[in-house]
Structure 1
């Protein structure tokens, strides 16, 4: 059967799925697996991997039809790292066996993923990482420390970049792996944040063993593989689809409407400008997703993520100023480990504090500005004096 190319063809496939698996009577995981088998998980993926080989733009038709029917989704916020980062990387660089093993439970949410990239001495400069992976027969033995790892405390698998050759320049000696988070050599410790919760973690790898069969890409080609992950990550953070007045601008607008006694012409002017910026960013995201339907993400995702972080912080700051002393309240300081970041269900003080992380996570705003300058605007790159120096000779 040829791949569908029209919305009508996709609607017919959705209707067939719903006729055979009534969402009202089918267990959630069973329905998601049936959706996978029907190729309606992500229609742009190949047949047999949850897709139909169809234009990716048709995914919106699938989601709308299933939502209207009350069908369960795969809780994408909970498994965002798997969907937005691990899946496209596995699809691009994975073997057939790796794709068959990992993609289905990743999409259904039966297996949660995390990202083991950043280190205490290698955050913005990822290529400086020092976690070592040494070959031992059919395995790799990994030792090092990773940090700022979201969902590590709930994850079954991790995407991991490690140093496999210290004798070559830093970008050339890295290799990309899939790491089993249940391995006895993996230890996850919470990192308590300014909000009081421990959404992030630090991860210690002490002789963790990874089969060579769980390597993604060639040995020493980890930097190129990681770029696929990072480009998709920035799109996932800054370019996600939101409705009009959705996200942070919707929360702040609700606060404004609930407190007419705080309205001033100056405050109205500030909120209006932020609302217009939010709409512009939302439409830019729609255009970027349309472009992505025809290819892989590029540096444009960095621009979206940069704008998202700046706007999120500006909106949360406005809300705190509007509420004055009430805006400083942060009602929950108990140490806990959430599965999801909840901006909308918390108070203004929480939103203000948590938004500070938006300019760090997924690539710092400073690094994203460099990417935009060099890869979009064509400006000269910054001098890189360590580009050709073996990693082992770099000062640390």
Structure 2
């Protein structure tokens, strides 16, 4: 596979790097965010979304540039992701709308829906969250029980969703709900668009994690109004699965660039503290983490380049990065030595977790959320290798 950056890509890199240098100033320069840190600097990051939107940097991978976004080639999208991560720009608040809902609307929505929702995402004005998982319907998404009944031109939604990232900041939620009474499993589901500003109809309750933060939420719908159905009523399963297939594209490379920075910090800590001196086992683990990260990057580029067009590619990617990131968290604590494992406050005062401790605690969930390792292996076994389905 030839995945080289050409002259146009390097010109694009220069433009992106210069724009980031000119605009990543003031509070934007120090804003945090991202997985495990979604509670940080929300107001600043929202302003940053609008700054990105004003200059067309949201929606580079969309099929058209008709919504206030600029259009970029695949390699240019990778260039932007690299420069964004390396500049230390804030964790994105709008990534669910940009990378999940927007491509889904382009693939399954009608022209009116695209004209209504895509500009708000492209301008950074409207944030989205995802209403998929429920108690008892996480990895087994077909077991959702949230229901919706037809009312006029819309629906009324009742039920509970959980592990909903960014729900307290979102303007909209796309919800997988059961619109056909008595339906089971994949049948009778619809993909609904629900405005979050419905006092008394939607209740968002933060879920406190063992890292001390609350970026995930429970969301309770009590007759909340849904204003649109994407893909037609009863076709929700097809749309939902299409969205999940779109979830791991260029964003996978963005994630890996963030992983590279986390690994760099762990290596620097090992060197500065002397933990790696005279410890060949620890040195071997550090080298292995670096080599595995390079392998993941090559696999992601291969997939994006068209050589990985198979139903198991997203599952392979999830298995790779979930285990890798979890091992990095374990390695961070090992590098810190006994003090790192002695409890919160070991490395910093006032019982606050430091960066490495937070990394360790957050990565405990990496092999569960987004589809557990067991589910990913089942997908590979059944849909790629053609092995018999497990009995239910």
TM-score of the pair, normalised by structure 2: 0.78
User: 2:105 is matched with which residue: 79, 84, 90?
Assistant: 90
Give, in whole Å, the separation in 2 of the partners of 1:67 and 1:98. 31
Q: CA deviation at 1:99?
A: 1.1
Give, in whole Å, the separation in 2 of the partners of 1:288 and 1:172. 31
**Are the equivalent residues in 2 in contact too, given 1:130–1:144 (CA < 8 A)?**
yes
Matched, 1:201 2:217: yes
3-state SS in 2 of match to 1:359: coil
Question: What is the CA deviation profile of residues 350-380 of structure 1, one whole-angstrom value per residue up to 9, with x for unaligned ones?
Answer: 1111001111221111111111222233322
Matched, 1:250 2:264: yes
Give, in whole Å, the separation in 2 of the partners of 1:335 and 1:171. 46
Q: CA deviation at 1:125?
A: 0.8
Matched, 1:189 2:202: no
Q: Which residue of 2 aligns with 1:315?
A: 328
**Are the equivalent residues in 2 in contact too, given 1:7–1:61 (CA < 8 A)?**
no
Instruction: Quickly say closer, same or farther: Cα 1:362–1:85, change in 2 above 3 A.
Output: same
- 1:158-307 aligned at under 5 Å gives the runs 158-184=173-199, 185-211=201-227, 214-235=228-249, 238-240=252-254, 242-243=256-257, 246-263=260-277, 264-291=279-306, 298-307=311-320
3-state SS in 2 of match to 1:169: coil
- 1:1-396 aligned at under 5 Å gives the runs 8=8, 32-33=52-53, 35-36=55-56, 41-42=59-60, 44-50=62-68, 55-60=73-78, 77-184=92-199, 185-211=201-227, 214-235=228-249, 238-240=252-254, 242-243=256-257, 246-263=260-277, 264-291=279-306, 298-328=311-341, 329-331=343-345, 346-384=354-392
Give, in whole Å, the separation in 1 of the partners of 2:242 and 2:110. 16
Give, in whole Å, the separation in 2 of the partners of 1:170 and 1:321. 44
Q: CA deviation at 1:85?
A: 1.2
**Are the equivalent residues in 1 in contact too, given 2:129–2:173 (CA < 8 A)?**
yes
Give, in whole Å, the separation in 1 of the partners of 2:162 and 2:135. 6
Give, in whole Å, the separation in 1 of the partners of 2:350 and 2:391. 45
3-state SS in 1 of match to 2:155: strand
Q: CA deviation at 1:215?
A: 0.8
Q: CA deviation at 1:322?
A: 2.9
**Are the equivalent residues in 1 in contact too, given 2:58–2:122 (CA < 8 A)?**
no
**Are the equivalent residues in 2 in contact too, given 1:197–1:334 (CA < 8 A)?**
no
Give, in whole Å, the separation in 2 of the partners of 1:279 and 1:64. 14
3-state SS in 2 of match to 1:246: helix
Give, in whole Å, the separation in 2 of the partners of 1:245 and 1:64. 12
Q: CA deviation at 1:50?
A: 4.8
Instruction: Quickly say closer, same or farther: Cα 1:77–1:290, change in 2 above 3 A.
Output: farther
Instruction: Quickly say closer, same or farther: Cα 1:228–1:192, change in 2 above 3 A.
Output: same
Give, in whole Å, the separation in 2 of the partners of 1:245 and 1:54. 24
**Are the equivalent residues in 2 in contact too, given 1:57–1:290 (CA < 8 A)?**
no
TM-score of the pair, normalised by structure 1: 0.78
Give, in whole Å, the separation in 2 of the partners of 1:151 and 1:255. 31
Give, in whole Å, the separation in 2 of the partners of 1:333 and 1:372. 46
Instruction: Quickly say closer, same or farther: Cα 1:244–1:218, change in 2 above 3 A.
Output: closer
- Let me know the Cα RMSD of the aligned residues: 3.7
Instruction: Quickly say closer, same or farther: Cα 1:40–1:266, change in 2 above 3 A.
Output: closer
Give, in whole Å, the separation in 2 of the partners of 1:313 and 1:356. 6
Q: CA deviation at 1:65?
A: 9.0
Give, in whole Å, the separation in 2 of the partners of 1:52 and 1:67. 19
**Are the equivalent residues in 2 in contact too, given 1:188–1:202 (CA < 8 A)?**
yes
Instruction: Give unmatched runs, 5+ long, in structure 2.
Output: 1-5, 26-46
**Are the equivalent residues in 2 in contact too, given 1:164–1:174 (CA < 8 A)?**
yes
Q: CA deviation at 1:64?
A: 7.6
